[in-house]
Amino acid sequence: MAVNKSTPNSEGKEMTEEVDNLRKEVAVMRDEFRELKQSYLDTNRRYSDTLLMLRGLTQHATESAEQAAKAAEFSAICSEKCLEVAKKAASIPMIEAAESASNAATSAAEAAIQSAASAASAAAAAALAVAHHAEDASAQGSSVAAEASKKAAAFAAQAVLMSNKAAEYARSARKDTQT
């Protein structure tokens, strides 16, 4: 049986090589750890930036939907007033006034429809923000935008009904003068 004799000098040399190898591996791991940490910090920064942007988008979309709902409400009020004017004008010999009021009511109804579309678009933008980042603020903003869109659509429908009624009065006035 052969006995492997090692000298203290060869054992020290092997141990030094092993320590050097371990140091190199630790240095590589340290570099990899630094790279991972930097990658995490970069990703976290980008995520935070995106989140801030989406919060702003949600806020603007919500405000846009609320303003569109208000515009639709004003258009509905305008259509209602035009309806009153068309009704009054139809009872007196002023057919052109009745027709002008009817046209104004139609334009107001079209504005209300555009406002409703704008509110729906803003609600969709807010919903998109929520889809990307389910946050309470985004969800709440999307809910407000959707409600504003619903109001705008209701006002638009009301404006269209009044516009149609105003047109009826104008047609009736024209018919009365022709007979």
pLDDT tens figures, 8-38: 566 778 888 888 899 999 999 999 999 999 9
First to last CA, the chain: 135
pLDDT in tens, 117-158: 777 777 677 666 666 665 555 566 666 766 777 777 777 777
pLDDT score for 46: 86
Task: Report yes or no on whether pTM surpasses 0.75.
Answer: no
Residue 153 in contact with residue 68, Cβ under 8 Å? Answer: no
Q: What Cα–Cα distance (Å) separates residue 10 from each residue in 16, 18, 19, 20, 92?
A: 10, 12, 14, 15, 122
